Structure 1
């Protein structure tokens, strides 16, 4: 959104809006803050979409979107193009990784999305999942819903300095400097594969390995026992570091300091750490799933299976790295957020 505000797609004016009880309002206060303006130039007046406008909802809001279903229908009847971002379909395709209510909430939200003009997905893999869902649950919309894919971006700025980090973060970076450290980034939740990673490193440590595993991510849902395992692990703050409240600056430094990112997720919609790591020159070991193949291509080492398989992948990567043969990220193929925003803007506004 900030990229669109700074550089709107050709021929368009971008107006951020927020939901309210009557429909939508121009989010001028929010926009002013994004632009660094000292005050709001005008109050948040009602937003009145007109024929030829495009309404785009980039965020996931199950209840809010379902509640406005009739409004979206009315907007489309009035000639407004309605579009949604579908980050993934995991609550309905992999419900075992989510709380019991998630599948129903996501299905109700998808039913509204299926009535829109456009659905934008972060990968072609998600786009194919969405096409399959619409064919199964809303076949009358299968031809009229335009489904597009546009990859996310990552800022390719130089690695930030460590200034501004707290003392504990600086101590962690000092401990990792010169060590063979592996990093996981993202909320700790069942599908992310953290348990497999801990199992893998316990095997490596039992065999005499000195590798360090760093997990940066707040606790999510259905992971109480896993979080207790991380917090109470005998190797914590020795060969296992669990950072529950990592700042963006610390994560940036961890990408630079650690030799390799581990993406052990069983399912993803995109996998943003893959491109963030590549932007920092950090190698990747990833589970062999279609989304990761699409995003990382041949720039990663892949594994299939649980802790044993991941331990073998780490050992294999380590041997390749010593010989200078480990896959290395190529920054040239990574989109910036500005480029990603331009691609998405073009897909949302082009004529079919």
Structure 2
């Protein structure tokens, strides 16, 4: 199981303390253990992608100080948009202040079917915001809020923290998230320290006499002021010293000044900052006791560090420290200096009691980082769910849903020639089609029929095309005629060459071929089709259920497990009539419920979409195995006019040429899109911002925003993205455009388009004419009987150039 870990923050800090030390210890062990497939990531703000870290170089640097941080990054990148289902994204560092906000990242990964796991140290910025900087509170709220909505598993450093998270979820009316606890360890690796010498200031402070030690950043939450107050009132006069070992944090300017100007400074009161690990160890071992007066804590690592060195601890009487310190600590009220002073004096005045505590502490067995890492790895492994159904070694059956005997009969010779492992077809069709097939088909396949009357059993067939198909396929899944695992297809999916069943199932996993991300699907906004509405409905259902949202409508045969489909229908019994996508429902369900069971692959289909200008592709096939057959593409003047519509002995050779022609055709359209991207980049260089296209609809009218000029590729459609602000809930608007030359003559008027306004972004298809033309571009919007228009400079770009 592949585990992604973002170590961006660890690579950026110049010192290792607190959370970064934890990240180092755990990640190093996870790499060494090789129990999981660990991939370390560094986010590059320029690329907007993660860079993959060389694991061996990471170990060399953070274990032995070999090399530099700059050498850890490789040339390999991972775009969050393309992270695959079944993988795990594990956050263990303090990433809430990084530029890549989890409120943006996590929904993307969740939609991909990536499992999201976070290690939570505390939620103090939520429960005690008064002790945190306001920016920290804001950043942390955004961070933890994203995880409370998206996380599949929370690992906490203490049960107390997990309890607080459960309370927060309940208060927010959010479902409970599975949780595990893994305490922090204390056997830190100090080999990477440049300095192992004891700091002379620390030696002098220790030599000054018996002392109480506080380790950690000086900040309001840590409550240093209470301890100093107790010393000023009671403990300095008893000959006890106080050492603060930690840097100055936020919002303690007055306290910092008090320390610097204190009359006991460097005699009984010492402030040591920037101490190395060896010095901190020295201070722990020689302390009379460690004070931990914190108002709240995520874990309380100084307790463990003190115990490990045989030093007693005085701790705040709060749940988290009770959990960590148990019976080995003495506790006091963190709001009372008298309580602290009395508790400390109980040890000073009772040597027998103090020695008894020391004897108990000496027997303490700390949790090792090996144990911590093992618990974290075990928790991560719960994200892998074994697939409950056996996968057959051989797939022999293909299932068609069709009402077109002619199309199916034209397709079957391709199947016979190029898919030899298929032996049997189950044809789901109207009753009237059975006799036609029996009469006309004479091939090698054994045919079985599942007619509409058989599956409907008196139920009414929906009129909408997508709803009808989904309804019939759901009903067909209940039939014993259909094998547990089969290939599902439509009648116009044709293989281009010889293939085997590894195309569909490989190494016991389903190959799921996706063509888009459903969350980005806009459809034909000039006229939504039945297909578009199906995609929108499917997306909404998948999002509501927390399933991934890949779009598997790749217009090619794909392997389906009937047992899983029956499981889906049992879990969601009302979906049969909803008109969802049979392909996306199946694969996204498996992605989420049985992560890792689908090998997500880019689709391998030629002629999907039928026209390259129908929409801008998100996913580009790396090879072509199937053709989505469109008869019209073989008509005179079309791309395949010279090729046969029917199978013959030379089809495979012909298909190779056909693929080459299609790739050239596809590349030409890709160049058009590339020209628009080149225009955006050039615009940004000139004006310092990317071109903005926007339409704002209010009760007063329509405001159109266009950039200083617009660049459009020649001889093809460019889909221009407009941001939509639709305060009044307008359903659609009539939009057209025109080109005007430099003399003021109208050259082109685009077709009037009734564009849907139900999405945040509208893509308006604009056709370029001859390259090199310059003039005026005018956009016109008709709204409530009024015409609103705006003009900008026009540039029709030649291929490969900007005119």
Using the size of structure 2 for normalisation, the TM-score is 0.40
Maintained 8 Å contact 2:219/2:248: yes
Deviation at 1:295, TM superposition (A): 0.4
Q: Distance in 2 between matches of 1:104 and 1:286?
A: 29
Q: Distance in 2 between matches of 1:54 and 1:291?
A: 29
Deviation at 1:282, TM superposition (A): 0.7
**1:106 equivalent in alignment to 2:130:** no
Q: Distance in 1 between matches of 2:129 and 2:367?
A: 31
Deviation at 1:271, TM superposition (A): 0.8
Maintained 8 Å contact 2:307/2:364: no
Q: How does 1:1-352 map to 2 (within 5 A)?
A: 1-8=27-34, 10=35, 12-21=36-45, 22-28=48-54, 30-34=58-62, 36=64, 43-47=74-78, 49-64=83-98, 67-114=101-148, 115-137=150-172, 139-140=173-174, 142-143=175-176, 145-155=177-187, 164-173=197-206, 175-176=207-208, 179-205=209-235, 208-304=237-333, 305-323=335-353, 324-326=355-357, 328-329=360-361, 332-351=364-383
CA separation of 1:70/1:228 partners in 2, compared to 1, >3 Å: closer, same or farther?
closer
Deviation at 1:130, TM superposition (A): 1.1
Q: Distance in 2 between matches of 1:201 and 1:290?
A: 25
Deviation at 1:18, TM superposition (A): 1.4
Q: Distance in 2 between matches of 1:42 and 1:67?
A: 21
Q: Distance in 2 between matches of 1:311 and 1:71?
A: 48
CA separation of 1:80/1:300 partners in 2, compared to 1, >3 Å: closer, same or farther?
same
**More displaced stretch, 287-296 vs 338-347:** 338-347
* Residue-by-residue CA offset, 1:246-274 (whole Å, 9 max, x unaligned): 22211110011112111000110101101
Deviation at 1:65, TM superposition (A): 7.3
Deviation at 1:298, TM superposition (A): 0.3
**Could you say what secondary structure the match of 1:170 adopts?**
helix
Q: Distance in 1 between matches of 2:73 and 2:332?
A: 54
CA separation of 1:128/1:225 partners in 2, compared to 1, >3 Å: closer, same or farther?
same
**Could you say what secondary structure the match of 1:15 adopts?**
strand
Maintained 8 Å contact 1:301/1:317: no
**Could you say what secondary structure the match of 1:64 adopts?**
coil
More helix by share: 1
Q: Distance in 1 between matches of 2:183 and 2:97?
A: 26
Using the size of structure 1 for normalisation, the TM-score is 0.88
Deviation at 1:67, TM superposition (A): 2.8
* Residue-by-residue CA offset, 1:299-324 (whole Å, 9 max, x unaligned): 01111142111111110122343443
Q: Distance in 2 between matches of 1:120 and 1:155?
A: 20
**Could you say what secondary structure the match of 1:133 adopts?**
helix
* Superposition CA RMSD, Å: 2.6
**Could you say what secondary structure the match of 2:327 adopts?**
coil
Maintained 8 Å contact 2:86/2:115: yes
Q: Structure 1: where are the runs of 5+ without partners?
A: none
Maintained 8 Å contact 1:261/1:277: yes
**Could you say what secondary structure the match of 2:243 adopts?**
strand
Q: Distance in 2 between matches of 1:107 and 1:157?
A: 32
Maintained 8 Å contact 2:234/2:341: yes
Deviation at 1:104, TM superposition (A): 2.8
Maintained 8 Å contact 1:65/1:112: no
More strand by share: 2
Q: Distance in 2 between matches of 1:7 and 1:320?
A: 48
**More displaced stretch, 179-188 vs 98-107:** 98-107
Deviation at 1:61, TM superposition (A): 2.0
Deviation at 1:184, TM superposition (A): 0.4
Deviation at 1:245, TM superposition (A): 2.1
CA separation of 1:53/1:320 partners in 2, compared to 1, >3 Å: closer, same or farther?
farther
* Residue-by-residue CA offset, 1:65-96 (whole Å, 9 max, x unaligned): 76353432232233321112221111111111
Q: Distance in 2 between matches of 1:247 and 1:263?
A: 20
CA separation of 1:2/1:74 partners in 2, compared to 1, >3 Å: closer, same or farther?
same
CA separation of 1:270/1:331 partners in 2, compared to 1, >3 Å: closer, same or farther?
farther
Q: Distance in 2 between matches of 1:330 and 1:254?
A: 17
* Residue-by-residue CA offset, 1:183-203 (whole Å, 9 max, x unaligned): 000000001110010011112
Q: Distance in 1 between matches of 2:110 and 2:201?
A: 53
Q: Distance in 1 between matches of 2:212 and 2:171?
A: 41
**Could you say what secondary structure the match of 1:55 adopts?**
strand
CA separation of 1:303/1:20 partners in 2, compared to 1, >3 Å: closer, same or farther?
same
Deviation at 1:32, TM superposition (A): 4.8
Maintained 8 Å contact 1:183/1:262: yes
Maintained 8 Å contact 1:255/1:261: yes
**More displaced stretch, 42-51 vs 234-243:** 42-51
**More displaced stretch, 322-331 vs 251-260:** 322-331
Q: Structure 2: where are the runs of 5+ without partners?
A: 1-26, 386-803
**More displaced stretch, 339-348 vs 36-45:** 36-45
* More relative contact order, 1 or 2 (CA 8 Å, 6+ apart): 1
CA separation of 1:337/1:331 partners in 2, compared to 1, >3 Å: closer, same or farther?
farther
